[in-house]
A and B are shown apart, each in its own frame.
Chain A
């Protein structure tokens, strides 16, 4: 399957995989961004990894503090699968060592503090989606040439 077979994304309605262990938070995501995003919800990292496919998502938004695999580690794994993927990490503590390590590793990751505001989070999701598109386009051009 080449790049051409990828489902074209709607720039106004990015496809987002949302990962959060708190059902109330996931529910809130679904409600708040119902009109703005095309969302798939996962309640932990393992579920997110099972659901993830590079063609299906433009952005992954994940909570950091989750039982099992934390958000920062999940994002690193997802970026290994899809290096062009845009990622947003939602956390209450940007000082956590795991978050710092991800930031120091050079992965372009937007860290959004919780409690978030709709406009701000949406802006970063769109930004991440835009970057995903640009990176994918560059990768496609490289593979053609």
Chain B
């Protein structure tokens, strides 16, 4: 945090001090040569000598201005600002011993260097202080070189005036720099707190959205579970009544047919059967066809119902040991019904039992498969494979869609990031899926962006205290060889024997 503060402060100094340092160079570049007009009237004897010195300043200042403009170091900027003033001061100090008639005026002009430094140097007070030292030193040096030119009183008076000016501007610079530093510190901490607040707000928004989404999914899960439960009995009744019905209808039509065969020569039978006889043939045929149609539809209904139930295994909140392939198949079956033109290539391997949360894992499969179906726009190829790797099992989902663009890749698992149209995706599917897989000790990664290949990897392990599925619980007294009667193959039924 400290380094960040220093960096921010250095950047703020550069921004604030650079224009003022440029202004210093500019002022010097403009004002120093202008004084040649006064030289002409006040000290005509030294006009040319002074002019040469002023031209040197005119040449040097733009070079210093370039340095000020281009440097990225605060120290260099301050040295450049100091040099600007020092160079001007030294040049003027060289003139002073040669001033014959208007010394106080030239001292006043000389003191402008100090005042300019005081006003336009925003850096620390040592910059202004150094300028003051150079001004005083060069003034003293000038007196030392040509002591005859000035009276001692003139020199002391001028030195006192200059020293006072230096003292005033250094004090001013010290207070100003301290204030600026403190103000910067305060605003920096404020900005930091703002950032923290913003980050907290972002996290809260993210958490809230995940919560809402999870709640929505769990509400949907409960709704489906309720629906599935309500459908159980009707589905059971329909499926199991078809066979008795077929048998009974067969018996009835057989009986009627037998009566029809016996009707000749029996007017009373002829009268009872009468007009119904011509229809008997197509009724017999139609009843069979109708029963077949009901049978097929009931079987389909049963399959959908079983898939739905396998998918919503969310009502099993505990982790289990088992093969999650059935959940993957059920989820695929459900989604594939909505995209009949899609080609599906599957390659399922024999998997060992792994620890997983069936409902949560099916939710992950649902998200991955739904994304793949959206990507191929319901008419491409969807590839699903399972495989055993060193210490885990992998579920691989890929598609023949456009793939995932490189610039999207890094943001893929970010919450709210979506490339789908508004209303088609919340951008939370992959983020939540990764969270769900990690909760089961696994990983969810994109391994190939071109084919949008996602891999869900779950470790093979036997965690303590986890219910083992597909293993009958033994009882020493009874050892009935009961087994699981589970038409959907989730292995969740079973016998404790």
Asked if A109 is at the interface (CB within 8 A of a chain B CB), the reply is yes
Chain B 146-183 per-residue mask, 1 if CB under 8 angstroms from chain A, else 0? 00000000000000000000000000000000000000
* Residues on the B chain within 8 Å of A111, using CB: 484-485, 493-495
Which B residues lie within 8 Å of A137 (CB)?
none
Min CB–CB distance B494 → chain A (angstroms): 6
Chain B: CB-nearest residue to A106: B475
Which of A9-17, A46-54, A89-97 binds B?
A: A89-97
A109, A113, A117: which contacts B495 (Cβ < 8 A)? A109
B88 to nearest A CB, angstroms?
A: 89
Digitize A76-102: 1 where CB-to-B-CB distance is under 8 Å, 0 elsewhere: 000000000000000111111000101
A114: chain B residues within 8 A (beta carbon): 232-233, 236
Chain A residues with CB below 8 A from B234, complex form: 24
**Proximity string of chain A (9-52) to chain B, C-beta cutoff 8 Å, 1 when within and 0 when not:** 00000000000001011011001101000000000000000000
Among B237, B473, B478, the most chain A Cβ lie within 10 Å of the Cβ of B237
0 or 1 for each of B422-449: is its CB under 8 Å from A? (1 = yes): 0000000000000000000000000000
Please determine whether A120 and B485 come into contact, CB atoms closer than 8 angstroms: yes
Q: Contact between A95 and B316 (Cβ–Cβ < 8 Å)?
A: yes
- Distance in angstroms from B422 CB to nearest chain A CB is 38
Q: Are A31 and B244 in contact (CB under 8 A)?
A: yes
B228 to A92, Cβ gap below 8 A?
yes
Q: Does A112 contact B (CB under 8 A)?
A: yes
Interface residues of A in 104-136 (CB under 8 A from B): 104-118, 120-121, 124, 127, 131
Also in contact, A106 and B477, with CB within 8 A (given A111-B484, A114-B236): yes
Rounded to whole Å, the gap between the CB of B321 and the closest CB of chain A is 14
The answer to whether B229 and A106 have CB atoms under 8 Å apart is no
Which of these, A25, A93, A110, contacts B482 with CB under 8 Å? A110
A118 B240 Cβ-Cβ under 8 A: yes
B175 to chain A, nearest CB (A): 75
Whether A113 and B236, one on each chain, are in contact in the complex, defined by CB atoms closer than 8 angstroms, is: no
| Contact between chains at A24 and B233 (CB < 8 Å) | yes
Pairwise interchain contact B482-A127, C-beta atoms closer than 8 A:
yes
Interface size class for chain A? 35 or more
Nearest CB in chain B to that of A112: its residue = B485
> A28-B241, A32-B243 in contact; A112/B493 too (CB < 8 A)?
yes
Tally of B interface residues using CB under 8 Å: 38
For B494, the chain A residues whose CB sits under 8 A away are: 94, 103, 111
A116: chain B residues within 8 A (beta carbon): 236, 240, 485, 487
Check B235 for interface membership: any CB of A closer than 8 A: yes
Chain B residues, CB < 8 A from A95? 313, 315-316, 492
Chain B residues with Cβ below 8 Å from A124 are: 482, 485
Contact B232 A92 (CB under 8 A): yes
* A73 at the B interface (CB under 8 A): no
In Å, the complex CA distance between A135 and B477 comes to 11
With A92-B229, A102-B496, A115-B236 known as contacts, the answer to whether A108 contacts B475 (CB < 8 A) is yes
Please tell me which one of the listed residues A34, A92, A106, A120 contacts residue B473 in the complex, with CB atoms under 8 A apart: A106
Q: Is A65 an interface position by the 8 A CB rule?
A: yes
Min Cβ gap A6→B in Å is 21
User: Any chain A CB within 8 A of the CB of B30?
Assistant: no
Enumerate chain A residues within 8 angstroms of B305, measured Cβ to Cβ.
115
Cα A32 to Cα B475 in complex, Å, equals 33
Residues of the A chain whose Cβ atoms lie less than 8 Å from the Cβ of B475: 106-108
Which of A65, A94, A107, A110 touches B492 (beta carbons < 8 Å)?
A94
Cβ contact within 8 Å between B492 and A106: no
When C-beta atoms are compared, the residue in chain A nearest to B228 turns out to be: A92
Kindly state whether residue B122 has any CB partner on chain A within 8 Å: no
Contacts of A121 in B (CB 8 A): 485
Is B239 a contact partner of A104 (Cβ separation < 8 A)? Answer: no
**Which residues of the other chain, A, contact B316 by a CB distance below 8 angstroms?**
95
Known: A103-B473, A118-B240. A93 touches B496 (CB 8 A): no
The answer, among A34, A108, A115, A118, for a CB contact under 8 Å with B302, is: A115
In the assembly, what is the distance between CA of A106 and CA of B235, in Å? Answer: 31
Contact B486 A106 (CB under 8 A): no
- B457 within 8 A of partner (CB): no
A110 to B484, CA, bound (A): 7
Interface residue B309 (Cβ < 8 Å from any Cβ of A): yes
Task: List chain B residues, Cβ under 8 A from A131.
Answer: 480
Residue of A nearest to B476 (CB): A106
**How far is B487's CA from A114's CA once the two chains are assembled, in angstroms?**
8
Are A117 and B232 in contact, with the CB atoms below 8 A? no
Residue pair A104, B496 in contact (C-beta under 8 Å): yes
Please state if B485 and A25 are interface contacts (CB–CB under 8 Å): no
Complex A-B, nearest 7 residue pairs according to Cβ-Cβ distance, in ascending order: A103-B496, A106-B475, A94-B492, A115-B236, A95-B316, A92-B232, A94-B493
Apart from the given pairs A103-B494, A115-B236, 11 other A-B contacts in the complex at a CB distance below 8 Å:
A22-B237, A24-B234, A65-B229, A95-B313, A103-B496, A105-B496, A106-B475, A110-B482, A117-B487, A124-B485, A131-B480
- 8 A–B contacts, CB within 8 A, in A order: A25-B237, A92-B232, A94-B490, A95-B313, A95-B316, A106-B478, A109-B496, A111-B484
